[in-house]
């Protein structure tokens, strides 16, 4: 249960006064965080806690949500505060009930993501680093997507997996073969503002029943990366893709590139959750070399 002193600190830092005892309910917060709904007649907060992450973890999430709020049509939950106290890092934001969906939930979500992807930058990356799951994500900008994908995404995860004993030199050599081909495998596009971790657990409904996106690994990347990741763990409704294509059609043969683009999140899963994801990862590499 949430420590009362820590709870009072978070509520105060969120800009609310505590009168009486708030209701505290444990809720889903992903695979790495504790999460709670904290409510009274004055506020309704979603609070995330973690005792084992980098101190900048939730501050990076806060900044990412603010970028999405400023640059998309999604109703992003308002972030009240982030910080560290009593051995815990914490994040406090607006609580969404997520119990209903409007009839055009998926189609409108696809349209809004397409418009967000039309927010452009000149380089791939971001002005600050953040996280993918619990792992650091280096966003130092580069002009070329293939170079960015290799140097900022694939190589660090391959190196980490090697250091953990999850991959060996034969796996590394397969990736090195892929690196030489990568530039020709994905259509050239300008960097788009992307969510960066857009699986089904990171899209949910707001209190009004519209779709919103949460838990970002936001940066300027290749937009197909977001669309590819929506296909992991079951995929989104077909209406989502219809909505997206009605605004910003994908380049031909996108479906053939999904396995390639998902190498980064697959490597993240190898490093976070172990060998159960290695076979799919290596099979995807072999398909493209």
Domain boundary among the residues 60, 94, 128 is at: 94
Residue numbers of the domain that contains 239:
105-287
Selected residue with higher pLDDT from 19 and 276: 276
**One domain, residues 200 and 250:** yes
Supply the pLDDT for residue 18: 79
Supply the pLDDT for residue 55: 82
Residue 99 lies in a domain: no
pLDDT digits (tens, 9 = 90+) for 39-55: 998 899 999 999 988 88
**One domain, residues 88 and 112:** no
**One domain, residues 188 and 65:** no
Q: Count the domains in the chain.
A: 2
Residue 80 lies in a domain: yes
pLDDT digits (tens, 9 = 90+) for 188-218: 999 999 999 999 999 999 999 999 999 999 9
Query: What is the Cα–Cα distance from 147 to 275, expressed in whole angstroms?
Result: 27
Q: Which tokens belong to 276?
A: 């159960």
User: What's the half-sphere exposure (Cβ side, CA atoms, 13 Å) at 129?
Assistant: 13
Query: What is the Cα–Cα distance from 74 to 189, expressed in whole angstroms?
Result: 23
With b for 16 or more beta-carbon neighbours within 10 A and e for fewer, the 230-245 pattern comes to bbeeeebeebbbebbe
**One domain, residues 88 and 151:** no
Residue 123 lies in a domain: yes
Output the domain CATH number for residue 65.
3.30.200.20
**One domain, residues 280 and 250:** yes
**One domain, residues 197 and 84:** no
The contacts of residue 253 (CB under 8 Å, 6+ apart) are none
Q: Which tokens belong to 268?
A: 């993240």
**One domain, residues 205 and 277:** yes
**One domain, residues 47 and 119:** no
The residue-averaged pLDDT of 275-287 equals: 97
Residue 100 lies in a domain: no
Pairing of strands 88-94, 79-85: antiparallel
Supply the pLDDT for residue 17: 87
Domain boundary among the residues 75, 94, 113 is at: 94
Q: Is 54 a catalytic residue?
A: no
Residue 218 lies in a domain: yes
Supply the pLDDT for residue 102: 96
**One domain, residues 75 and 125:** no
Residue 127 lies in a domain: yes
Q: Which position among 54, 104, 197, 215 bears the catalytic label?
A: 197
Output the domain CATH number for residue 201.
3.90.1200.10
Domain boundary among the residues 30, 61, 94 is at: 94
pLDDT digits (tens, 9 = 90+) for 71-101: 999 999 999 999 999 899 999 999 998 889 9
Q: Is the pLDDT of residue 251 over 80?
A: yes
**One domain, residues 154 and 225:** yes
Give the residue carrying structure tokens 């914490």.
Answer: 90
Residue 181 lies in a domain: yes
**One domain, residues 121 and 215:** yes
Supply the pLDDT for residue 272: 95
**One domain, residues 141 and 183:** yes
């Amino acid at each position: 249960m949430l420590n009362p002193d820590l709870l009072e600190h978070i509520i105060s830092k969120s800009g609310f006064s505590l009168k009486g005892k708030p209701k505290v309910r444990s809720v889903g917060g992903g695979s790495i965080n504790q999460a709670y709904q904290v409510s009274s007649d004055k506020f309704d907060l979603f609070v995330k806690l973690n005792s084992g992450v980098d101190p900048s973890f939730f501050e990076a999430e806060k900044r990412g949500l603010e970028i999405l709020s400023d640059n998309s049509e999604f109703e992003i939950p308002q972030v009240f505060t982030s910080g560290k106290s009593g051995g815990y890092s914490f994040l406090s934001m607006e609580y969404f009930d997520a119990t209903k969906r409007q009839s055009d939930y998926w189609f409108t979500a696809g349209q809004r993501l397409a418009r967000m992807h039309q927010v452009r930058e000149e380089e791939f990356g971001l002005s600050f680093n953040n996280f993918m799951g619990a792992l650091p994500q280096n966003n130092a900008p580069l002009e070329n997507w293939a170079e960015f994908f290799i140097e900022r995404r694939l190589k660090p995860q391959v190196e980490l997996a090697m250091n953990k004993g999850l991959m060996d030199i034969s796996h590394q050599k397969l990736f090195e073969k892929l690196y030489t081909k990568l530039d020709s495998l994905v259509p050239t596009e300008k960097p788009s503002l992307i969510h960066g971790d857009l699986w089904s657990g990171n899209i949910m409904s707001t209190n009004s029943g519209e779709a919103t996106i949460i838990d970002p690994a936001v940066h300027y990347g290749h937009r197909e990366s977001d669309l590819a990741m929506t296909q992991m763990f079951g995929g989104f409704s077909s209406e989502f893709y219809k909505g997206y294509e009605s605004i910003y059609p994908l380049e031909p043969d996108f479906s053939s590139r999904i396995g390639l683009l998902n190498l980064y999140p697959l490597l993240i899963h190898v490093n976070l959750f172990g060998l159960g994801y290695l076979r799919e990862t290596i099979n995807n590499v072999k398909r493209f070399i």
